[in-house]
Amino acid sequence: MEKYIEEGLVVDKKSLNPEAVFELFANSKRLKNQCIKNFQIIDYQYGYEMLNKFQLEKFRNQLNDKSDNQELMNINNKYFQAYPLNLIELFEGEN
């Protein structure tokens, strides 16, 4: 909004209300397109649909087998002193 105030598209952000914002977007193709792009960036489903198979596989590979056992034990010792998690069972399948 600061950018649009500087450019003179918005006179005073204090005077903006939902109707004024809607009117602003309805009258400015650039603002409307930017709003759509911003929404698409945070929309999980849209992002997922835009990934091709190679990108999706690369993303999945980054998530697999990325546990840090030592850090998990440190967190367990620090935050779960009264009731520690049984990490031995979690780590059994690894190696």
| DSSP secondary structure of the chain | -HHHHHTTS-S-GGG--HHHHHHHHHH-HHHHHHHHHHHHHH-HHHHHHH--HHHHHHHHHHHTT---HHHHHHHHHHH-SSS---HHHHHTT--
pTM to 2 decimal places: 0.32
* pLDDT, tens only, 34-89: 878 887 778 878 777 777 777 878 877 777 666 778 888 899 899 999 988 888 77
